[in-house]
Structure 1
Amino acid sequence: MEDESQTEVTQTGEGPVRGIRRPDGSLAFLGIPYAAPPTGRRRFQPPQPVVPWTEPLDATRYGPTPQRREEPNAIIPEPSVPGTATLNLNVFTASSSGARPVLVWIHGGGYSSGSSASPWYDGRTFVRDGIVVVTISYRLGFDGFGVIDGAPDNRGVRDWLAALEWVQRNIAAFGGDPARVTIAGQSAGGGAVLTLLGMPEAQHLFRAGISISGALGDLPRDRARRRSELLASMVGCEPTLDGFRGVKERALTRRQYEASLLGKTGLAATTATLTDGLPWGPVVDGDLLTRPTVDSYAAGVGADKPLLLGATDDEFTMVFDRAPRILRWVPVPLALLIVEQTRALRRGWRRANRTRRDAGSALGRFVTDRVFRSLVVRIAETRRDARTWVYRFAWASPTNGWSYHCLDVPFWFDCLDDPHVARIDGEDPPQRLADEMHAAAVAFIRDGDPGWPTWRTEPGTTRVFGDHPELSRAAYDDALPLV
């Protein structure tokens, strides 16, 4: 237990919580349950209410995480914390008084890994700038997104909704304004933002969204069902609620990420998400998600909400740095056959990307454009006259020469001083760039405007975050053939 003189108690609707006052003056309330532990009869069910308590709950340490094993090659430090009460959240604030804007952060990890306990997601710099920060956990992989006879689909999405409902009920007790909630996330977390923005049922829970390198799920239900049935055969159970409940969590965790679920091996497994989607993620189930997300935008859902979105220049190009050496000698047009069978798309993309002269960098940029950058353009165009701001992260890491996936996160959070940052950003990343990006995020959360023209005000306008401040109307032109 922490020194009582350094703690503070705040009353929530479920009971009192004791957080910790930190040396920088911020308050942290960690591991607050927003739903009951998803165990026993609650396993594979929608999030259930917690049992209220009367004595102060110790909220001075991070709570258990749905992630049970840390990914060995994870770029962002995201620790796993053991325990059963995995549906919890963390609140970072300056005081329990006031009505400050709120940032709700949804972590990434391909909907199958990740942790809200990352030191990079600590909200201290946003608190410094007048914002209350909430970081949430949610069920991952098969637990959150598998299709099971007798259980509701999209349990992970339902967790997001339950956490946001907690924020609406309780954030005023932490000095936050429930009417000024911005949801934000990176990778799968950015995809979660896009999914929620397209859900009619979620519109009352937030006022704006930030999607950083957003990876949409939108998996067809039949595909998710087939994968769930294959997983059942791999662990030796019936693909039913009772069948999966009879399998230990560890057994499912060990098998649910195997490449065989996608039916691909080798280099094809690397690019399988182009054609088959992520192994697990939000499912278009006809109930909670009635249609693909971009179709919802076309129908006007979320049009009243400001959106800031963008991607890095080479999200996953570094993957091909580890590809077999023979790939270096493969002509680019031939290499593109690995990821795209339509000749017109390949030729159109090649014309827009003539500088990609080796197969590895061409494949990396193509994957980036197909999964991330073309999606940015599709969303910005589909939202028509809705307030949409676009950015492009173009600063390349000195560690490998790429502007790659997750590289920008410590810039948004202004945490370049974290010891884990040097591994991906080098020993001297530009603080000027962190100042610019963090300030844009703060302005958007506070005022609903990051500080440059919207995509539609001056068509194609994009804020380029790189070596030099720049506004461009052609920043995504090289991805247009894939839109």
Structure 2
Amino acid sequence: MTNETGQSGPADLVEVRTVAGRVRGRWRPGAGPGAPRSAAFLGIPFAEPPVGDLRFAAPVPHAPWDGVRDALEHGATAQRGDPGVTLIPEPSVPGESTLNVNVFTPSPEPASPGAGLPVLVWIHGGGYFAGSPASPWYDGRAFNRDGVVTVSVSYRLGFDGFGRIEGAPSNRGVRDWLLALEWVQQNVAAFGGDPARVTVAGQSAGGGAVLTLLGMERAQHLFHGVYALSGALADVSDERARALAEDIARRAGVAPTREGLASVPEERLLALQKEATDLDPRQLDTVISQGLPLGPAVDGDLLPRPTRESLRAGVGADKPLVLGTTDDEFTMALAGAARTLRWVPRSLLLSRLGVPARARRAYLDANADVVALGKVRLAGRVVTDRMFRTGALRVAADRGGAATWLYRFAWPSGAFGFAEHCLDVPFFFDCLDGPATEPLAGPHPPQELADAVHAAAVAFVVDGDPGWPRHDDAGTARVWDVPVRDEPDAYASVRPLL
């Protein structure tokens, strides 16, 4: 029997030759009635398993293999164990070969130079310590329907990926992103894609990841556009990274060196990492102002300076950027504090959340609609603004006249009553009919909004323009709601914090 690429095998299987060897994927139905089918290649290793001598090493390209390698199931994930109830379904897959890619393509045939399809590379979120590329939401089926090859990548998480270890290369998780993008450059044409038309995208920590790449000189040749959803930059200082490493090593009873920490079993190190990074509510302002303790670090090598400084210096200015946030990213995390916050004066609440005295009155006036909904909503909006929305405005300003588009995702979830963290992801991927969307979006999320959000993402990947006015002095941004609209100074309620 011969499949559509002229290769022998069952009709639902398809083979592609990569630089390292042949891989076997599977055809699957298209996204929606009448949509053409596409092919999925899962768990293709781009690097050797980061275990043994390679545990705290820079990633090493995977060695070639003989014969045909099955790419029919998701590869192992850096996320271990049961992640519990999460906003995005991101399962853990056991195994050692955790550095892999998933490729979804409508045309798994070699493309000649300049004739391939545009490519979207997705980097998952999870606070740099969790998350998985094996989510059914990241399937890429709808992007395939619209002529876009989609690749999701894995990377080392937590201390293994980002911890500062004497004698080990810095930013190992970042180096994983770079090697995965190099794999895309070398191989995506074999799957029908164009390596000269690669857009990197991600959400939450993944959004921070693609902004980090945008400001990294050594990454510029690997992609051509950036789409950041709820991106929060880490840019961990050397002092903070060193302090965390010393704390974890002390808890383990070893030296904060590669040799010492390599003697700590993975499961034990994960437990110590959790102990050392568990958030004390009294340290909330530190996390809001400085970001998460694990993530890309200013190491003097890959990141010689904070990302925003690089953007202000013009790094990445030749690449179009779309970025934005949901309106109430972390309000849901404060729902359990309603009884306590009830008795806290607003001025004290704003003080504890780091709003300077000079800005409080203007901020309350600018957010009068949220203030009227109670202190949980107000506190959630402050956390959202300080961790995400001010950052989006500052990154846009840092880029000066570079092509930049802002959006706000404002549609209130039918489950939460506001636009919470992760809500925009199933709209971006146009997978509202997928698993686990109802707990996040409610029973009847508007398909017309998903059509609009997804179409804008496709337009950006294909043409470098999402279809609304660029960010400029007027502050115009697309507001994703029903109806969709474009607003001048759409982030006006955030400006008192700038």
Give the TM-score range, shorter chain.
Answer: over 0.9
Does 2:312 correspond to 1:298? yes
> Residue type of the partner of 1:230?
D
1:475 aligns with 2:490: yes
Matches within 5 A, 1:18-417: 18-24=24-30, 25-97=37-109, 98=111, 99-258=116-275, 260-261=276-277, 265=280, 267-323=281-337, 325-340=339-354, 342-355=356-369, 356-357=371-372, 358-417=374-433
2:497 is matched by which residue type in structure 1? Answer: L
CA distance in 2, matches of 1:149, 1:251: 19
For 1:121 and 1:475, the matched residues in 2 are separated by 29
Distance in 1 separating the partners of 2:85 and 2:362: 34
User: Are the aligned partners of 1:389 and 1:462 in contact in 2 as well (CA < 8 Å)?
Assistant: yes
Q: Secondary structure at the match of 1:437?
A: helix
1:401, distance to aligned residue in structure 2 (A) = 1.0
2:477 corresponds in structure 1 to 462
Correspondence for 2:22: 16
Secondary structure of 1:256's counterpart equals helix
Amino acid at match of 1:478: S
Judged with a 3 Å threshold, the aligned counterparts in structure 2 of structure 1 residues 347 and 71 are, in CA distance, closer, same or farther, namely: farther
Given that 1:340 and 1:346 are in contact with CA atoms closer than 8 Å, whether structure 2 keeps it comes out as: no
- Residue 71 of structure 1 deviates from its aligned partner by 2.6
Q: Shift of the alpha carbon at 1:319?
A: 1.1
**What is the TM-score when the length of structure 1 is the normalising length?**
0.96
**Amino acid in structure 1 at the alignment position of 2:437:** V
- SS at 1:60's partner residue? coil
Shift of residue 123, structure 1, vs aligned partner: 0.6
| Amino acid across the alignment from 2:394 | R
CA distances 1:17-66 after superposition (whole Å, capped 9, x unpaired): 01111133210000000110000111111001211112111100000000
Q: Identity over aligned residues, as a percent?
A: 55
Q: State the secondary structure of the residue aligned to 1:20.
A: strand
DSSP 3-state at the match of 1:115? coil
The CA distance in 1 between the partners of 2:355 and 2:222, in whole Å, is: 41
2:5 corresponds to which residue? none
In structure 2, distance between residues paired with 1:269 and 1:248: 29
Give the conservation status (yes or no) of the 8 Å contact 1:27–1:93. yes
Partners of 2:95 and 2:53 in 1: how far apart? 17
Letter in 2 for 1:130: G
Alpha-carbon offset, residue 271 of structure 1: 4.8
Q: Please give the TM-score of this superposition, normalised by the length of structure 2.
A: 0.93
In 2, Cα distance between equivalents of 1:270 and 1:195? 23
How far residue 80 of structure 1 moved from its aligned partner, in angstroms, is 0.1
Match of 2:448 among 415, 432, 444: 432
Q: Which amino acid aligns with 2:27?
A: R
| Deviation larger for 227-236 or 153-162 | 227-236
State the shift of 1:269 in Å: 4.8
Deviations 1:148-197 (A, max 9, x none): 00001100000000000000000000000000000000000000010000
Q: Which runs of 4+ in 1 moved over 6 A?
A: none
More deviation in 470-479 or 85-94?
470-479
Q: Distance in 2 between matches of 1:390 and 1:247?
A: 44
Amino acid of the residue matched to residue 332 of structure 2?
A: M
Q: Which runs of 5+ in 1 are unaligned?
A: none
Q: Gapped runs of 5+ residues in structure 2? A: 1-8, 31-36
Deviation at 1:257, TM superposition (A): 2.3
Distance in 2, Cα, partners of 1:269 & 1:56: 52
Look up the equivalent residue of 1:74 and give its one-letter code. Answer: T
How far did residue 120 of structure 1 move? 0.4
**How many Å separate the matches in 1 of 2:285 and 2:70?**
44
In 2: Cα distance, 1:79 partner to 1:4 partner: 29
1:453 paired with 2:469, answer yes
State the match for 2:33 in structure 1.
Answer: none
- Kept after mapping to 1: 8 A contact 2:285/2:354: no
Deviations along 1:252-283, one digit per CA (max 9) or x if unpaired, are 1122123x446x52x33555411342021000
Whether the 8 Å contact between 1:17 and 1:57 is mirrored in structure 2 is yes
Give, in angstroms, the shift of residue 72 of structure 1: 2.0
Give the match's secondary structure for 1:350. helix
> Is the CA contact (8 Å cut-off) linking 2:474 and 2:489 kept in structure 1?
no
Query: 1:230 touches 1:261 (CA, 8 Å); kept in 2?
Result: no
SS in 2 for 1:416: coil
Residues 331 and 359 of structure 1 are in contact (CA less than 8 Å); yes or no, is this contact kept in structure 2? no
SS class of match (2:201): strand
Structure 2 counterpart of 1:152, one-letter code: P
